[in-house]
Amino acid sequence: MPKDNCSTQEGNQRQWLTIVLCNFGLNSLRVKASAKQGKTFLFFKKDDSDLKLIINDLIQKNQEPKSHKNWFWCGNALKGKSKLFEKELNLGSDIHYLEFWTDRNPEVEEITIKIEDLKRIPTVDNPKWTGNFKDDPEEILLARAIYGEMGGESYEAKVAVGWAIRNRVEDPKQRWGKTYHDVILQPFQFEPFNDPKKTVFKKITNPPTDDSIEGKAWQESFQAAMGVILGKATDPTKGANHFLVKNAHPWPSWAKEDKCTVEIGNSKFYKL
C-alpha cells in the first residue's frame, strides 16, 4: 500500500493512485478504505476527506444519502468509519485501469485484485499440457499426434503421419473437420489422445525437452509437424488419410490394396 512513501496529501480533488493491468483479465476487486468528516471550527467547517474509484473510466457511484455521488468513500457520510467496495467484474484479458482520486486525505486499508488465471500457450520448449488440447497451437497439437503415433519411427514416418492428418484437414468433402484440432481430437481416431491413464497420453502431454531419447523424438516430431504445416516437407503418402501398422489382423474392410498409396517402415498408408 502506498502509505509511507506516497501517502495521500492535503489537497483538493487530485489523482492519487493508478493501477494499470496489462493483458490481464480482471475477475474482482475489493477495496477497504475510510474517510473522515472535516472538523468544524466556530462557523467554519473544513472540507471532508473523500475517495473516488474509477474502473476503466467508469466512476463507481456512492448510493448513500448525504454523500457525494461521485465519491464512493465520502467523509461526510462515513465520519471516519471504514467502507468496503467489493465487486465481481469478470473483465476479460485487456488493459484495465483502476484509478483512485482523493480529496484531502482518506485512508486506504486494503486493495485486493483478483486477476484471471493466465493461460499458458504450450511451445516446443515448454510443451506441458494445459489440461485442454484446445489451448495448443496447431503445430504443437500435430507434434503431439506425431510423437504419440510415430515417436519411435523414422523422420519420414513422422512426416507421413503428419501429412495423413493434413490430408484429412484439407479433405474437399470435409469428412473429418476443418482444422487440425477437429481432426486430431476426433474420438478414437488417434489413440494417444483417448485415455489419460495410458502411458502414451502421459508422454504426449508432457514430452521431455532435454537431450534424452524422448527429448530428441519430441524435437523431431515438432520439426515434422512444422514441415507439414508450412509445406516444407513434401507429402510422402501421396494423399493418404489413413494408416495401419502391419502387425494387426484382420484388417478393416476399407484397407484394400488398391487404396494403399505407400508403405513406410512398419506402416501402410491408405487414401480413402
Partner 1 sequence: MSKKEIIFVPALLLIFSLCVVSFWKLNSYLMPQKTVQKNSLLLKTNRPQGSLLHWDSEVSPNGLYRGDSYTGDYADYFNYYQLFITNLTTGNKQKVYAGDSHTLGWKWTDDSKIEIDYDCGSGCLATKILKTNESVSIADYQDGKMSEENGWKVKFTKSF
Q: Note the residues at the interface with partner 1 (CB under 8 A).
A: 148-153, 164, 168, 175-176, 186-192, 195, 197-203, 212-214, 217, 241-250, 252, 266-267
CA 102, chain centre distance (Å): 36
- In the bound complex, what is the minimum distance in angstroms from residue 122's beta carbon to partner 1? 20
- In the bound complex, what is the minimum distance in angstroms from residue 59's beta carbon to partner 1? 57
- In the bound complex, what is the minimum distance in angstroms from residue 262's beta carbon to partner 1? 14
Q: Closest by alpha carbon to 181, among 111, 229, 251, 244?
A: 229
CA distances from 44 to 41, 49, 102, 233 (A): 5, 16, 21, 84
Residue closer to partner 1 by CB (options 68, 203) is: 203
CA angle 135, 20, 15 (to 5 degrees): 165
4 in the Ramachandran plot: left (φ > 0), alpha (ψ -120 to 50) or beta? alpha
- In the bound complex, what is the minimum distance in angstroms from residue 200's beta carbon to partner 1? 5
Does the bond joining 250 to the residue before it have cis omega, within 30 degrees of 0?
A: yes
- In the bound complex, what is the minimum distance in angstroms from residue 126's beta carbon to partner 1? 19
Task: Name the CA radius of gyration of the chain, rounded.
Answer: 31
C-beta of residue 237 within 8 angstroms of C-beta of residue 168: no
Residue closer to partner 1 by CB (options 92, 250) is: 250
Residue closer to partner 1 by CB (options 63, 253) is: 253
Residue closer to partner 1 by CB (options 2, 252) is: 252
Residue closer to partner 1 by CB (options 57, 210) is: 210
